[in-house]
Amino acid sequence: MNSQYLFFIFGGFAVHLYSVLGYFIYDLKKKWRTIFGKANTSNELLAEILKFCKTTEDLSVETEKRLSDLEAIGEKSVQKVGFIRFNPFSETGGDNSFALTLLDKENNGVIISSLYTRESVRAYGKRIESGKPKQPLSEEETASLKQAMGE
């Protein structure tokens, strides 16, 4: 081959390579501006990034404090519920009486029982600590407590 042909081939290859590289650089600059905005210098960009990081850090601290407050409230909130309807008098009425158990995370809470008769309604409350009743429980109250504790 003639050296003149080789020169044109390599010259054409070089022009093509430069045009491809130029396109990639143009595309990269375009993406850079899209991502980082119109910061003209790296110092401006760094200042914007640091400002954003400070704002994010402040929000994170505030969120962490609020989360710990909510977790403390959640520990004492009702998390477990058991509910049993029953008829204490088999010969009359329907299932209008009930036993309701309300417990927190540590299985502390209360059982509220209601006994319904035609003449009256009676309500009872019994304290529960660590899943153990402080007073004797009826069958229905025991079933409600087991339901609340997932047993």
98, 85 in Cβ contact below 8 A? Answer: yes
Question: For 101, phi and psi rounded to 5 degrees?
Answer: -110, 130
Q: Rounded to whole angstroms, what are the CA distances from 135 to 19, 107, 108, 112, 144?
A: 88, 16, 14, 12, 15
pTM for this structure? 0.57
pLDDT, residue 18, reads: 87
Number of domains in the chain: 2
Contact 6, 15 (CB under 8 A): no
Q: Which domain holds residue 27?
A: 3-74
40 with 90, same domain: the answer is no
63 with 90, same domain: the answer is no
pLDDT bin (cut points 50, 70, 90) of residue 136 is very high
Residues 15 and 70 grouped into a single domain? yes
28-76 pLDDT, tens digit per residue, is: 888 877 776 665 666 777 788 888 898 999 899 899 989 988 888 888 8
Residues 69 and 84 occupy one common structural domain: no
Judge if 94 and 52 occupy the same domain: no
Instruction: Indicate whether 26 and 11 sit together in one domain.
Output: yes
Helix (H) or strand (E) segment spanning residue 23: helix 3-36
- The percent helix, strand, coil of the chain (3-state, each to 5) is 55, 20, 25
Same domain? For 17 and 66 the reply is yes
Residue pLDDT, tens place only, 92-108: 667 889 999 999 989 99
Q: Are residues 62 and 44 in the same domain?
A: yes
